[in-house]
Amino acid sequence: MHKALIFANGDVNDGDMVRRTLEVAAAMPGQTLIIAADGGARAAQYFGLRVDTVIGDMDSLSEIEQVQLQAQGTDIIRHPPEKDETDLELALALARDEGATWIRVIGGVGDRLDQTISNVYLLAQAARAGFDARMVAGKQEAWVIGSGDHPIVGAAGDTVSLIPLNGAVHGIITEGLYYPLRDEALYFGPARGVSNVMTAPHAQIRIRDGALLVVHTLGRA
């Protein structure tokens, strides 16, 4: 198992980037694990997908919904409400344990700002472990990068924002972006890295040290 779609219990936020992600996952039928973090099972059902596993404390799914899911062949892994991890964190750990290296989270953005921010930090945790984990919503995808070279695939005119997560990020060199960075730093707080624009279908980001949240938006944001 190399790919995993995880549906979190936030807003569905259907859109072009979400549909592209679903197409990539569907290109290898039988090789994409579909996991729901508790009530995220409803988001999977919105897209007509059968969930392989639901994981969480089950405080967002009724007993009837759980029985219906089990009747469809879905495994349910229950955790106590008094736990250290969020349901999405448990889902990400399950995907990694199942061997997924390409992970996409749908439904990770909602009306809980604290949950949304914590979901972004979970992306950082996955990046440190070497996984390609991204959160997808509407026409956007977001992921965390560290030191090294990182490609962005899109189209000229797409919007790219680079946001430091845990302090200053040094030695940033960009190619294919309208506002270039030439061995420069971005600092935690100022919004200098927001709303850059791709000038070609491919862009490149190099970082010496630090962690950047990359937000790629289809077209002009």
State yes or no: pLDDT of 128 exceeds 70: yes
- Can you give the pLDDT at residue 8? 97
Mean pLDDT calculated for residue range 114-137: 93
Mean of pLDDT over the chain? 95
As a whole number of angstroms, the distance between CA 155 and CA 59 comes to 41
Q: What structural domains and CATH numbers belong to the chain?
A: 3-138 (3.40.50.10240), 146-217 (2.60.120.320)
Amino acid 221: pLDDT: 85
| pLDDT for 27 beyond 90 | no
CA dist list (Å): 176 to 35, 143, 205:
35, 18, 9
Reported pTM: 0.94
Over 90: is that where the pLDDT of 28 sits?
A: no
Is the pLDDT score of 205 beyond 80?
yes
Say whether pLDDT at 65 is over 70: yes
**Residue 29: pLDDT band with limits 50, 70, 90:** low
pLDDT category at 1 given cuts 50, 70, 90 is: low
- Cα angle value 137/138/144 (rounded, 5°): 35
Let me know: does 57 contact 83? Beta carbons within 8 Å.
yes
**Res. 140: pLDDT tops 80:** yes
What was the pLDDT predicted at 211?
Answer: 95
pLDDT band per the 50, 70, 90 thresholds, residue 166? confident
Please, which pLDDT band fits residue 15 given cuts at 50, 70 and 90? very high
Mean pLDDT of 152-165: 97
Q: Model confidence over 93-105: pLDDT tens digits?
A: 999 999 999 999 9
Predicted confidence (pLDDT) at residue 85 exceeds the cutoff of 70: yes
- Model pLDDT, residue 17: 97
| Dihedral of alpha carbons 18, 102, 120, 84, sign | positive
